[in-house]
Structure 1
Amino acid sequence: MKKHEIAVIPGDGIGKEVVPPALEVLHTIAEVHGGLSFEFTEFPWSCDYYLEHGEMMPEDGIETLQNFEAIFLGAVGNPSIVPDHVSLWGLLLKIRRNFEQSINIRPAQYFKGLRSPLTNPNDFDLIVVRENSEGEYSEIGGRIHRNENEMAIQNAVFTRKGCESAMRYAFDLAERRNKHLTSATKSNGIFHTMPFWDSVFDVVKNDYPKVETNSSHIDALAAFFVSQPEKFDVIVASNLFGDILTDIGGAVMGSIGIAPAANINLNGQYPSMFEPVHGSAPDIYGKGIANPVGQIWTAKMMLDHFNEEELGEKLLDVIQEVIADDIKTADIGGKCTTDEVSTEICNRLRALK
Structure 2
Amino acid sequence: MTTIAVIPGDGIGPEVIGPALDVLDALGLGVRTDVLDHVNAETYLRTGTALTGADLDRIRSSEAALLGAVGDPRLSDTAYVRGVLTTLRLELDLYVNYRPARLWHDRLSPLRDPARRAIDCVIVRENTEGLYSGIGGGTRTGTPHEIAIDVDLSTRQGVARVLEFAFSVARRSVCLVDKANAVRNGGQLWQRCWSEAVARHPDVEASHLYVDTAALRLATDPTAFDVIVTNNSYGDILSDLTAALAGGLGVAASANLNPVTGRALFEPVHGSAPDIAGTGVANPFGAILSVALLVEHLGRTEEADAVRRAVAAAVAAGRVTPDLGGTLSTKEVGTVVLTELRRP
TM-based fold match above 0.5: yes
1:133 correspondence with 2:128:
yes
1:274 correspondence with 2:266:
yes
Structure 2 residue aligned with 1:158, among 154, 161, 169? 154
What residue in structure 2 maps to residue 33 of structure 1?
A: none
Q: CA deviation at 1:122?
A: 3.2
Is the partner of 2:124 in helix, strand or coil?
strand
What residue in structure 2 maps to residue 61 of structure 1?
A: 55
Counterpart code for 1:267: V
Identity, % of aligned positions: 35
Structure 2 residue aligned with 1:105, among 70, 73, 98? 98
Where structure 1 has 5 or more consecutive residues not aligned to the other structure, the ranges are 31-35
How far apart are the structure 1 equivalents of 2:240 and 2:40? 23
What residue in structure 1 maps to residue 45 of structure 2?
A: 51
Give the TM-score of the pair, scaled to structure 2. 0.96
Counterpart code for 1:143: G
How far apart are the structure 1 equivalents of 2:53 and 2:94? 20
Q: CA deviation at 1:266?
A: 2.6
Where structure 2 has 5 or more consecutive residues not aligned to the other structure, the ranges are none
Deviation by residue 1:269-302 (Cα, 9 ceiling, x = unmatched): 7x31000000101111111111000000000111
Q: CA deviation at 1:59?
A: 4.0
Is the partner of 2:184 in helix, strand or coil?
coil
How far apart are the structure 1 equivalents of 2:319 and 2:77? 33
Deviation by residue 1:203-224 (Cα, 9 ceiling, x = unmatched): 1111111100000000000111
Moved more, 288-297 or 259-268: 259-268
How far apart are the structure 1 equivalents of 2:212 and 2:286? 27
Counterpart code for 2:42: D
How far apart are the structure 1 equivalents of 2:150 and 2:332? 46
Q: CA deviation at 1:83?
A: 2.9
What residue in structure 2 maps to residue 336 of structure 1?
A: 328
What residue in structure 2 maps to residue 288 of structure 1?
A: 280
Structure 1 residue aligned with 2:66, among 66, 72, 92? 72
What residue in structure 1 maps to residue 181 of structure 2?
A: 188
Counterpart code for 1:327: R
How far apart are the structure 2 equivalents of 1:139 and 1:159? 15
Is the partner of 2:276 in helix, strand or coil?
coil
What residue in structure 1 maps to residue 298 of structure 2?
A: 306
How far apart are the structure 1 equivalents of 2:151 and 2:331? 45
Is the partner of 1:347 in helix, strand or coil?
helix
1:40 correspondence with 2:36:
no
CA 1:273 to 1:172, structure 2 compared with 1: closer, same or farther past 3 Å?
same
Moved more, 49-58 or 208-217: 49-58
How far apart are the structure 1 equivalents of 2:44 and 2:145? 35
Is the partner of 2:207 in helix, strand or coil?
strand
Is the partner of 1:302 in helix, strand or coil?
helix
Moved more, 324-333 or 114-123: 114-123
1:248 correspondence with 2:241:
yes
Moved more, 11-20 or 135-144: 135-144
1:348 correspondence with 2:344:
no
- CA-based RMSD: 1.3
